[in-house]
Amino acid sequence: MAIQHAAKPEQRLPLYRDLVKVAENTVVFAVFSVERLEQEFPPEAFQQPELGDLHASLLHYIKLAEKVLDQTRRRVFNNETVPAPEKIVSIFEPHTDIIRKDRRDTLYGHKVFLTAGASGLIVDCVVERGNPTDSTKAVKLAKRAITVLGNKPEQIVFDGGFSSRDNLDEIKGLGIRDVAFSKAPGLAIKEMVKRTWLYQRLRNFRAGIEGIISFVKRCFGWDRCTWRSYGSFRAYTWGSVIAANLVMLARHALG
C-alpha cells in the first residue's frame, strides 16, 4: 500500500527494496522446504496426490516468484523497460496478459474478438494471447467468418482500429464486396463500399455491436472471469457467448 500511494519514485525505491528482501526470504524458505521434502521422502512417495501436489506447487511458485523478483530488479532498480510478454502480472494466473490501447487504462486479462451477424447472434469468438494490434487481425477474422458462415458475406464492417489499405485490399481479395471500417484515415468511402448510404448503415451496425458486448457483460459475467487457468478463461468466455446466443434465439422464436 505504501508503494501504491507513494507520490515520488524516490519514495518507492526503499519500499521496493524492503519488499524484494521479504520476497527473497520467502523464496529461500520455499527452496529449503523442497530440499527437506526430497531428503525425507523417496522419489516414489511424490506419486501420492497430497505430497506430490505440495512438492509441485512449491516448485511452481518458486519459479514464478523468481521471475517476478527478476523483473522487479530490472524495472525498479536498473530502470530497464521490461517487455510486456516477459512480465508476470499475477502469480496465481500467470497466463494473464497486459492490455493497453492508446491512452486508455491498463487492463489485465486477454483480448477477445467477436464477430456478429445481422441477426444479433455472435457467430465467432477469438481469445488472443498477448496484446496484438487490431490491424494485424482483420484478415484472419474475415477468413474465419467465411469458414464459420460457410459462405462469403457480401458486406463486413470493422472498428476503426482494424483499418489499413492492405487489410482493405486483402479482404476484398477474399471475395467480400463491401469492406467498411468505422474510422478509416486515408481511405475514401468509395474505396470501401459502392454507396455512401450503405457505409452509414454498416457503421451504424458496427455501433450496435457495442450493445451485444454490453449485453454479454451485464447478463453473462463478461466483465470479469472468475475461473482459474487459461483453458478455463476460454471456456468461461465461450460459455457466456453460447448462453447469450441461446437467449437471442429464444427471443427470435418468441417474437
pLDDT digits (tens, 9 = 90+) for 227-241: 999 999 999 999 999
Q: What is the 3-state secondary structure (H, E, C) of 54-121?
A: HHHHHHHHHHHHHHHHHHHHHHHHCCCCCCHHHCCCCCCCCCCEEECCCCCCCEEECCEEEEECCCCC
Angle CA(114)–CA(118)–CA(122) in degrees, nearest 5? Answer: 30
pLDDT above 80 for 104: no
Angle among Cα 111, 113, 116 to the nearest 5 degrees reads: 155
Quote the pTM value: 0.82
Report, as an integer, the average pLDDT of 60-82.
Answer: 95
**Nearest Cα to Cα of residue 109 among 90, 124, 125, 91:** 90
Residue 214 confidence (pLDDT) above 80:
yes
What does the pLDDT read at residue 107?
87
Q: What is the mean pLDDT of residues 202-208?
A: 93
pLDDT tens-place string over residues 126-183: 999 999 999 999 999 999 999 999 999 999 999 999 999 999 999 999 999 999 999 9
Q: What count of other Cβ atoms lies within 10 Å of the Cβ of residue 206?
A: 18
Mean pLDDT of the chain: 93
The band of 252, judged by pLDDT with boundaries at 50, 70 and 90, is confident
Residue 102 has pLDDT above 80, yes or no: no
Spatial distance between the Cα atoms of 131 and 207, rounded to a whole number of angstroms: 23
CA-to-CA distance for 149 and 45, rounded, in angstroms? 53
> Domain segments of the chain: what residues?
2-83, 99-254
Amino acid sitting at position 133 = T
- Note the pLDDT of residue 182: 92
What pLDDT score was predicted for residue 200? 94
Q: Grid coordinates in use for 240?
A: 457466456
* CA gap 152, 134 in Å, rounded: 21
Using the Cα atoms of residue 167, residue 168, residue 173 and residue 177 in order, give the sign of their dihedral: positive
Residue 214 in grid coordinates: 454490453
